[in-house]
Structure 1
């Protein structure tokens, strides 16, 4: 996944059509690849020595960890992206279907609930917990399917540069329903279908994928249940580092010049046009690189408040004061002696005080929840290459407030006190709820990551792990534009701009960028091949 470090590109003079992409995460790599395919001369600048951004990888003592995203959802989005580049997901990745897709542990209930890899089995699961909930889930998923298809055709693949294409017949005839889905919270929408608190939590938890909570995310996002309860969950062998490696290789094949250890310090230009960037190389040397266009796939807050000249900021600090950040996270990577049969590849641990948990993360007086709901990924359940033989690989994610004062992580328990305490609490709860006595004593490798790490490593606003939360005021065209309003030629891509959070959304953001540069205001995906 790592690209060879290079101090500077082999060219520094002005050439017509050169495009600079800032950031080597999935959005930056995808944007660079598609732009190069579309005829642009592209240079990608990545501040770190390795590519991947939040979708990174860490290896130690024979263990290999994905340090970010771990759910392969919306497979058709990945497939479409690969097809735009003349290939396919099957050619690029080895995908396996997880069945069960994931397991859920609930505080106060001894038996977990396994969510299957397909729709009908999950309808039976719901019915077994609450009589009548099977038919309710069938109706819920029917609505989720319809909403998902409409989102793909009308809302996800558009830059909202023109709202006229959104007024299609299919949208107008569903206007009343769409308005209801926008104003009603996801949690109350799900509660209209099922009564059992466990089932409501299963239907509500996808809000966390969106950097929000069930009582804050619009019920439009019930479409997410189509992804896991109907489509199922896949896993790319080799982890998500394999996805990054694939897109990197495709970008290079298209002629993208990738420069690592190149930290952009300023975006140059004025009110008439962007002119390039300044960046520092691995030895601190400053390089000026001219360009006709600049695409920042870095965090939008960092881009606008640190890289763009003050008088040319479309999103100054005053704009961000009215925004809501998604949650921060304490990440815990563990190498564990022996197998852990109580866990699947994906496991969720939900506290009884569901609303209280989210209020502590998003409320007016935020603090780290205790006990906290959390997520566990054990890729060694599916992929023997990620851990030595006889050992297990665990990745825990504990949502916390987006607050850098919570601190940084470290190796071997050397992180900030709040970070390590949150990790200890999650490990103890995992052992208790899943029935794994002596888990802490079996840990042979431990690393934590805290909100301050996200801020320092990725320039993440407030140390958020994901980006701006998907609330009503931060969804669709209200999320912002992918083009600067004050510096022509400056564009944005990634999870902090449209269409939003998640690897599939980052791939779509790259495609929206291409459409924007083409002057394409249509609402659907580009024709294949590009």
Structure 2
């Protein structure tokens, strides 16, 4: 059995560990914190249990496929409920009164009716838009997301060749422009453009290819795993342990050890693989130093940290100068609130959109970044669907304020004890939610408050620039243009997680685990492993009927 050491016990680390152990490897996972989970963490106080990371369950096919590879199923591992409505959107009010809001129900036909009521003709256009998004999502899963890009043949299928003109259009057009050509109402544009933030960017910079995100909530619906995403972490940990993975917490990896490569020949020469991984050095909580020998090392830690701190300069595929040319996704102020009494004004998911999006996003991504005021914020109320996350007659609120990725903005803290920029952003968000959603005395009803700032992300997860997600999904940082899962300089060193391919988000982390397995197996095919393709698909053009496209994507 080949021995694998995995650095980092977040979603990607656990998923990779379980997958490789299931495939016959001897796996040890080293996690620097006292428990696994990484950014998909948890916090508990006074009967409240907060997820401190992901909260939208998207791309269910990815979860289904991952669990199937481990010989189980999503149904066996998670108790999913479909949210109806999916979410509510509040728009910035003109005066001091409450904001207008739109509630997006479950089901495309109902969502189309909401759009039609807002803008005549937009219901039919939304169905076309989502149909295009659906075919694009299937194309992405089949050819791009699960692709190691080790062979050009993986993209040489007739389907891809036929779709090249449409792909060029989608890649060469911004999501913002793509939406604006089809919808006039600014709020409808925001609803369709906001998923770009989940990809670490904004609609003006995201390629229109990412309109595929709209198929996830408008068509497939929004789900929630009972127990929250922390329950997903618990299931992945159990699957890993059951497969034989040794998990060591409070294990601080200090370096990845390499030695001169034994592989010779043109491939090694061209790829500059003059090193090979031989294990990792790590320090235990008691200060004792250890060395874990390995045939394969997988780093599921932040890629910037891995490359610039854990590897010697000669072994780095992505040195510091490489990162100077890259764009980070946003940072965040997270506000965890336990609130007395019920808050019917909020759904499980609620979004608060400012009118001037350009100003909002320029504050985050522009040349002179500042915390936007007001900010477009996201609020999750899991207590709407899960009675275990809050005491009776109380609500659990998770508030996300996107801000610049800058650890100098400070740490969060308990009960307002965080650094001033973080706490001021939290206070502003609480006031904004109270005012816009017409929730009287929200501030006075708070019984638990904890904030998390960019400096926490940097300290706890070694996040590059204190970002909450990783490199943004602008075109030059997507698909084959993103840092890939195999080191260019070190044999048998691989990467998994949101900071490498295929990208940010829990589903992408699960896919990155499979990409590592593909590399180890020498599998250069595109698409999920062992999944048959029953019918061809084609990227639909704007204006095609949804009925035609339904036939194209049915499987």
Q: TM-score, normalised by structure 2?
A: 0.92
- Using the alignment, how far apart are the partners of 2:291 and 2:498 within structure 1? 27
SS at match of 1:437: coil
Which residue of the other structure, out of 493, 503, 509, is the alignment partner of 1:506? 509
- Using the alignment, how far apart are the partners of 1:330 and 1:163 within structure 2? 42
User: What are the within-5 Å matches in structure 2 for residues 82-231 of structure 1?
Assistant: 82-108=67-93, 110-231=99-220
Deviation at 1:311, TM superposition (A): 1.2
Deviation at 1:528, TM superposition (A): 6.5
SS at match of 1:149: helix
The aligned residue for residue 10 of structure 1 is none
The aligned residue for residue 441 of structure 2 is 438
Q: Is the 8 A contact 1:182 1:472 kept in 2?
A: yes
Which of structure 1's runs of 4+ aligned residues deviate more than 3 A? none
- Using the alignment, how far apart are the partners of 1:17 and 1:85 within structure 2? 19
- Using the alignment, how far apart are the partners of 1:39 and 1:289 within structure 2? 19
Which residue of the other structure, out of 221, 224, 240, is the alignment partner of 1:232? 221
Q: Is the 8 A contact 1:329 1:450 kept in 2?
A: yes
The aligned residue for residue 325 of structure 1 is 328
The aligned residue for residue 20 of structure 1 is 5
- Using the alignment, how far apart are the partners of 2:531 and 2:255 within structure 1? 36
- Using the alignment, how far apart are the partners of 1:227 and 1:313 within structure 2? 37
User: What are the within-5 Å matches in structure 2 for residues 63-78 of structure 1?
Assistant: 63-78=48-63
1:35 partnered with 2:20: yes
Deviation at 1:108, TM superposition (A): 2.2
Which residue of the other structure, out of 416, 419, 428, is the alignment partner of 1:425? 428
Deviation at 1:111, TM superposition (A): 2.8
Q: Deviations over 1:19-45 (max 9, x none)?
A: 001110110000001101111110000
Q: Deviations over 1:237-288 (max 9, x none)?
A: 0111110111111111111111111010000003331110000101111101
Deviation at 1:167, TM superposition (A): 1.5
- Using the alignment, how far apart are the partners of 2:296 and 2:72 within structure 1? 27
The aligned residue for residue 284 of structure 1 is 287
Which residue of the other structure, out of 314, 317, 335, is the alignment partner of 1:311? 314
- Using the alignment, how far apart are the partners of 2:28 and 2:152 within structure 1? 32
- Runs (5+) with no aligned partner, structure 1: 1-15
Corresponding residue pairs, total? 514
- Using the alignment, how far apart are the partners of 1:397 and 1:161 within structure 2? 37
Deviation at 1:139, TM superposition (A): 1.0
- Using the alignment, how far apart are the partners of 1:243 and 1:427 within structure 2? 29
SS at match of 2:256: strand
- Using the alignment, how far apart are the partners of 2:364 and 2:5 within structure 1? 37
Deviation at 1:355, TM superposition (A): 1.1
- Using the alignment, how far apart are the partners of 2:531 and 2:122 within structure 1? 40
Q: Is the 8 A contact 1:83 1:528 kept in 2?
A: no
1:247 partnered with 2:236: yes
SS at match of 1:278: strand
Q: Is the 8 A contact 1:84 1:528 kept in 2?
A: no
- Using the alignment, how far apart are the partners of 1:394 and 1:345 within structure 2? 9
- Runs (5+) with no aligned partner, structure 2: 260-273, 533-555
Q: Is the 8 A contact 1:34 1:514 kept in 2?
A: yes
SS at match of 1:326: coil
Q: TM-score, normalised by structure 1?
A: 0.96
